[in-house]
Chain A
Amino acid sequence: MNDNGALTKRIVKESARLQQEPVPGIIAAPDENNARYFKVVIDGPSESPYEGGKFKVELFLPDEYPMAPPKVRFMTKLYHPNIDKLGRICLDILKEKWSPALQIRTVLLSIQALLSAPNPDDFLDADVAEKWKADEKGAKAIARDWTEKYAHET
């Protein structure tokens, strides 16, 4: 690939900035053997059912990045209408709304925002979304319970 050098430079730059000026509440470190693979920990946003939890996320920059979006997945189990049982995330900027102007940083911020504002109308997990719409209070109680159970390991 001809512009591989330029793309690589972009990844190096983004990666360095993530270390130097980390996003508050998010730690992102590149894998020592694979500069396109990041292990991320996102703090559950305050005043959300995920508050107090530490959520492990993995992020991979495919060959086509930044023309194609990063691939992102939760590794910590959580109860959320836009995240499925395998940790896959339903977020428009990771699909049709992706633009090369976006960055790893913006993706991680959007995921953090998704934890604060679940959107049961654009669901990935139908069961969770149904519960969320029918009984938001009950759904949030389950989400808090799961945060307690699965997002407190270190």
Chain B
Amino acid sequence: MASSFPTRTVVPRNFKLLEELEAAQKGQHEGSVSWGLEANDDMSLSRWVCMIIGPTRTPYEGRIHTLKVHCGDRYPEEPPAVRFQTRINLTGVSANGNVDPKSVPSLRNWNRDMTIHQVLNDIRASMSAKENAKLSQPPEGALYPSQ
């Protein structure tokens, strides 16, 4: 037998992404973040649209921030690419909305057990960070040019 059995079962990309989708649909999370496929017939399971509700007592409070998450062919060996769709002034987010992986713990220390959910939670947690406490925000509803 050429095939080998690693000591630990590796869930292939598509089945992992289906698990992530089902977790979103079952709503086993607090509701301050959400994630789903951009198109309900995207058989490649690549393009996700996500939302983060800004935490209270932060400059992000009272707004729904939308993000696009792209899971490539190498996911989950490689982390997803994340960018904001709604304009935001947040440390680690570039002028065109791209999220710098180095600024998000789960992206920085990515491994195949991590999920889109964790990435969103980390980004939401950073909204409460001291360094972001006084940042003025773009007008509500303003969008980055689509890429």
B2 CB–A CB distance under 8 Å: yes
A47-90 Cβ-contact flags toward B at 8 Å (1 or 0)? 00000000000101011000000010101010000000111100
- Asked whether A62 lies within 8 Å of B41 as measured between CB atoms, the reply is no
Contacts of B2 in A (CB 8 A): 32
Interface residues of B, CB < 8 Å — how many?
Answer: 20
A147 CB–B CB distance under 8 Å: no
**Chain A: residues with CB nearer than 8 A to chain B?**
8, 11-12, 15-16, 30-32, 34-37, 58, 60, 62-63, 71, 73, 75, 77, 85-88
Contacts of B3 in A (CB 8 A): 12, 15, 30-32, 34-35
- Asked whether A86 lies within 8 Å of B18 as measured between CB atoms, the reply is yes
B38-62 Cβ-contact flags toward A at 8 Å (1 or 0)? 0011110100000000000000000
- Asked whether A36 lies within 8 Å of B9 as measured between CB atoms, the reply is yes
- Cα distance A127–B21 in the bound complex, in angstroms: 21
**Chain B: residues with CB nearer than 8 A to chain A?**
1-6, 9-12, 14-15, 18, 21, 37, 40-43, 45
- Closest 5 pairs between A and B when the two form their complex, measured CB to CB: A35-B3, A85-B41, A63-B9, A37-B12, A60-B15
- Cα distance A73–B11 in the bound complex, in angstroms: 14
- Cα distance A16–B9 in the bound complex, in angstroms: 19
Contacts of B9 in A (CB 8 A): 36, 62-63
- Asked whether B43 lies within 8 Å of A87 as measured between CB atoms, the reply is yes
- Cα distance A86–B41 in the bound complex, in angstroms: 6
- Asked whether B43 lies within 8 Å of A77 as measured between CB atoms, the reply is yes
